[in-house]
Amino acid sequence: MELIYLDNAATTPIDPRVKEIMLPWLSGKFGNPSSVYKTGREAKVMVEDTRDLFAEFIGAKPSEIYFSSGGTESNNFALKGTAFNCLGIKDHIITSAIEHSSVIDTMDYLNSRFGLNITYLKTNSFGEINFDELTDAITPKTALISLMHSNNELGIINEINNTSLKASKIGSIIVHSDMVQSLGKVNINVQNLGIHLASFSSHKIYGPKGLGILYIKRGTKIDKFMHGGKQERDKRGGTENTAAIAGFSKAVELLKSEMKNDIKHYFGLKSRMINALHTELGNKILLNSYNDNRSLPNILNITFNPNNTNIDADTLLIKLDISNIAVSSGSACTSGSVQPSHVLKAIGYDDKSARSSIRVSFGRFNKESDIDKFIKVLKEIIN
């Protein structure tokens, strides 16, 4: 059976056009971008051209784009780099209870290892942040506010520019946003958002795994994260992943021409699934994602009503997998954890309901027939 892949928020398949561009950089074009001879210079030019392309795409300057190994490293770079620069000066960070695990775990580390005070903002049942609560949380000791632009499990989009406005009114507070899920799903301009730091990842936009980006606004004070070399303007040591950067360049190029159609496609699939869920399963399901511009077009989080159903997500995922359908029970970065999703707990679900939830995420290569097959199989399992 052909795989019906509905877990594009975990990772997207590499677009064949991206793979084609990468192949030469895995064979003949193997030079180190830091080398002065021809193959090295060719790699350096490609890396800098990619930096230029992505900077233009998100409204940044090329000198503000830094390559990393992925979204997790970019988040660690942003949070630890800012915190270490402020040690002994400011000791307070504000984030939310629904951040990605790479942010939550880093916050726990900064608290336990360095004694930094962390405030976790609460959200409503869809993951929307209360910005009045944010204002109340800011103190003279606040060094950093880190709030994701869109949530990887719920799809909710938060108005990060509200955060920037509040931070700028009060003082020199650095604002970071995890924008990994937003890239390619909404239009992004980091200048308009007023943020200082933003994290991105290649493998969420049909590019290769192992490549991330951190936007660092010019003038932002942040410590070096990876030591050992002068790469990335002495901010992140290590030889650049040239094949992945070449693939990312093609993925961004494709977004420039196809993103509008992609978004329309995602919204169509999401609406089709929501309508089918209501028709076929009715009060057996609860939706944790909006079906409008308040939420990403490609993510739908579903809880199976414990009053009408009795199935846990792990059992459901196994049964779907037997039918060659791939969805997830939450973030892929917490896969295998025995704990229920911290995101679903944060929006008010108890352990049982949180464990009875799945995330469906649509991609460029999904078809309407994928939705129909998923609903058919799901109905057979639930009933």
Domains of the chain: 4-12+259-382 (3.90.1150.10), 16-253 (3.40.640.10)
- Each residue of 205-232: pLDDT tens digit? 999 999 999 999 999 999 998 999 999 9
Is the Cβ–Cβ distance between 343 and 103 less than 8 Å? no
Could you tell me the pLDDT band of residue 332, with boundaries at 50, 70 and 90?
low
Cβ contacts of 335 within 8 Å, gap of 6 or more: 328, 329
Question: pTM (2 decimals)?
Answer: 0.95
Which pLDDT belongs to residue 263? 98
Distance CA 293, CA 297 (A): 8
Could you tell me the pLDDT band of residue 22, with boundaries at 50, 70 and 90?
very high
Res 345 pLDDT > 90? yes
Res 336 pLDDT > 70? no
Lowest mean pLDDT among 28-37, 85-94, 160-169, 218-227: 160-169
Could you tell me the pLDDT band of residue 334, with boundaries at 50, 70 and 90?
low
Mean pLDDT, rounded, for 318-333: 86
Which pLDDT belongs to residue 383? 78
Could you tell me the pLDDT band of residue 201, with boundaries at 50, 70 and 90?
very high
Could you tell me the pLDDT band of residue 16, with boundaries at 50, 70 and 90?
very high
Which pLDDT belongs to residue 280? 95
Distance CA 341, CA 329 (A): 8
Distance CA 167, CA 119 (A): 15
Mean pLDDT, rounded, for 47-62: 98
DSSP string, 12-37: PPPPHHHHHHHGGGGTT----TT--S
Mean pLDDT, rounded, for 114-118: 98
Res 380 pLDDT > 90? yes
More confident residue, 315 or 53: 53
Mean pLDDT, rounded, for 182-195: 96
Q: Which residues pair with 360 in a beta bridge?
A: 300
Which pLDDT belongs to residue 326? 97
Which pLDDT belongs to residue 353? 87
Mean pLDDT, rounded, for 29-33: 92
Which pLDDT belongs to residue 171? 72
Which pLDDT belongs to residue 309? 86
Mean pLDDT, rounded, for 43-62: 97
Cβ contacts of 128 within 8 Å, gap of 6 or more: 156, 158, 294
At 150, the amino acid letter reads: S
Percentage of the chain lying above the pLDDT 70 cut: 98
- Each residue of 154-185: pLDDT tens digit? 999 998 988 887 787 777 899 999 999 999 99
Which pLDDT belongs to residue 335? 52
Res 28 pLDDT > 90? no
Could you tell me the pLDDT band of residue 333, with boundaries at 50, 70 and 90?
low
- Indicate which residues carry an active-site annotation: 333
